[in-house]
Amino acid sequence: MTVNEERMRVLQMLEEGKITVEEATGLLRALDGGRKPAARDPVTLTGESPTLRVHVTDLDTGNAKVNITLPFGLVRAGLGVAGHFAPNVADLDLSDLEAAMKAGTAGKIIEIEDQQSRERVEIYVE
């Protein structure tokens, strides 16, 4: 059984209620050789926590296909979990983005137009 299959089995056991969250965490860490996730500096801002807004627009109609706002902490946690299943995601470095947020930077940070799918993706820090 591959490591990914073992991870999926642990998650399936958790979903079925056969093991607790703590037991699942321990098993997943054991599968990773006991290494703990790298510690990250918390984002400290005055006021509200920063959010990322993802806006996807259909280039042909101009209509919004996706418009979602996510707390940055949730994005960071999601990428941490995704790193267990997609190694290239684990290599994403969010330190520049976190530093910009700490400095109070806001606005559009990414804009991509995909001519093949006819979509524009924009990501904002708010």
pLDDT of residue 63: 93
65/106 same-domain check: yes
21/57 same-domain check: no
The domain of 79 spans: 38-125
68/12 same-domain check: no
14/31 same-domain check: yes
pLDDT digits (tens, 9 = 90+) for 6-36: 888 888 888 888 888 888 888 888 877 755 5
pLDDT digits (tens, 9 = 90+) for 101-115: 777 778 888 888 999
Judged on CB neighbours under 10 Å (0-12, 13-18, 19+), 21 is exposed
Virtual torsion, Cα 78, 85, 99, 109, nearest 10 deg: -80
Q: What is the 3-state secondary structure (H, E, C) of 19-30?
A: CCHHHHHHHHHH
78/119 same-domain check: yes
Whole-structure pTM over 0.95, yes or no?
Answer: no
Band the pLDDT of 90: cuts 50, 70, 90.
Answer: low
